Amino acid sequence: MTGTPVRLDLSSPSRGPRGKPPRHFVDLTPSERAAAVQALGQPAFRARQLATHYFTHLTVDPEAMTDLPAAARDTLAADLFPPLLTPARTLTADRGTTVKTLWHLFDGARVESVLMRYPDRATLCVSSQAGCGLACAFCATGQLGLTRNLSTAEIVEQVRRAARSLADGEVAGGATRLSNVVFMGMGEPLANYRSVLATVRLLVAAPPEGLGLSARNVTVSTVGLVPAMDRLADEGIPVTLALSLHAPDDELRSELVPVNTRWSVDEAIDSARRYFDKTGRRVSIEYALIRDVNDHAWRADLLGEKLAARGQGWVHCNPIPLNPVPGSRWTASDPAVEAEFVARLRAHGIPTTVRDTRGSEIDGACGQLAAVEDEAAFAPASEEER
């Protein structure tokens, strides 16, 4: 197979005003939903019926909406549930329990989401932006630059479709429910604050107002945008916060995570601690272990000291072996070095668990999402399945 780009059918719906996605039910407030169904000649209470179809039954298929008058179903669905995401590719790994989907958005922008099924839970990793503007040196998405923010409906649709697919038994292991959502796909969620927060509210609201996930099972991962972290702490939704630190010293962190020149290591850690104080949720510190770059024993000690200096029981560490990005000179730490790094953090009293690298062979692991769609990039999955 060559690296020729695949031609894909983009049957996009009509565009919204000024490049915005078409109007979607999920983006409307309850009163806007009522007004929208009335504008289509239907009583306002149909808005609640539509919410039940969407959030409880996870469907936008008019055929399934048998409690609506047959004559109105198609119009309501077409008007309020325009297709926002077109699946362009899906790839599976880990015996079918990891599924990566490449989505085309209405304007041709591309994002990916990754569904990971475990014995005790099913987690969807969602994208909140097409591309990302923060340019972290080791992250595939960071090399793309920012295309645009996603709307709330574009993020919630990733979740609804994953939940539907699990409910339909499409993922190996039989039908199940979606239990966790992590904002660890493409983009910096706190740089798209409004849409992400509205998404979070819909994820945790009880059906039929939302998907009914537990807030603790929703993780917002950030590069450390301190004002937005502080704002999130005040929202009264105890989601899990993950801070992508990757270095305990400003000199190195500013190289790896350029936004560190704006909010330093200490400022980001202080904000994470305030998040714990306000929400009672233990914060996760993400740390991609990069061979000979940030994996030194002294850096483990410095990180352990900085976290422990702010108390015990408020934080845990998630080192992850770097998922090498094509073309990068960096690679994952040696397993013995990783083990030493973990041991030193634990010696400082910091609970530490190494994160798995699910989906790495389909470029579906953390930091690998780049929405590539040439044949070469998609070849490994078919090999794997053989």
Residues in contact with ligand SAH by CB under 6 A are 136, 138-139, 184, 188, 221-223, 244, 286, 288, 320, 322-323, 325, 366-367
**Residue 136 Cβ, how far from ligand SAH at the closest point, in Å?**
6
Tell which residue, 273, 283, 215, has the closest CA to residue 244: 283
Comparing CB distances to ligand SAH, the nearer of 124 and 366 is 366
Map residue 4 onto helix, strand or coil: coil
Is the backbone of residue 187 left (phi > 0), alpha (psi -120 to 50) or beta? Answer: left
Residue nearest to ligand SAH (CB): 367
Element (H, E) at 89: strand 86-93
Tokens of 36: 């929208």
**DSSP conformation letters of 342-378:** HHHHHHTT--B-PPP-TTGGGT-STT------BHHHH
The Cα-based distances of 382 to 7, 103, 271, 376, 386 in angstroms read 19, 19, 44, 11, 6
Tokens of 126: 């969602």
DSSP conformational letter for 5: B
**Residue 188 Cβ, how far from ligand SAH at the closest point, in Å?**
4
Which residues, listed in sequence order, are joined to residue 1 by a DSSP beta bridge?
none
361 carries an active-site annotation: no
63 carries an active-site annotation: no
Comparing CB distances to ligand SAH, the nearer of 197 and 366 is 366
Tell which residue, 108, 100, 102, 99, has the closest CA to residue 10: 108
Comparing CB distances to ligand SAH, the nearer of 136 and 146 is 136
Q: What type of residue sits at position 114?
A: V
**Residue 111 Cβ, how far from ligand SAH at the closest point, in Å?**
13
**Residue 286 Cβ, how far from ligand SAH at the closest point, in Å?**
3
Name the residue with tokens 């599924």.
99
Q: Are the C-beta atoms of 271 and 315 separated by less than 8 Å?
A: no
Active-site entry in 112, 157, 188, 286: 112
Rounded-to-integer distance, Cα 269 and Cα 285, Å: 9
The alpha carbon torsion through 360, 137, 194, 216 (nearest 10 deg) reads 50
DSSP conformational letter for 281: P
**Residue 199 Cβ, how far from ligand SAH at the closest point, in Å?**
14
**Residue 185 Cβ, how far from ligand SAH at the closest point, in Å?**
7
Handedness of CA 247, 249, 254, 258 (dihedral sign): positive
Comparing CB distances to ligand SAH, the nearer of 59 and 240 is 240
So which residues are the catalytic ones?
Answer: 112, 366
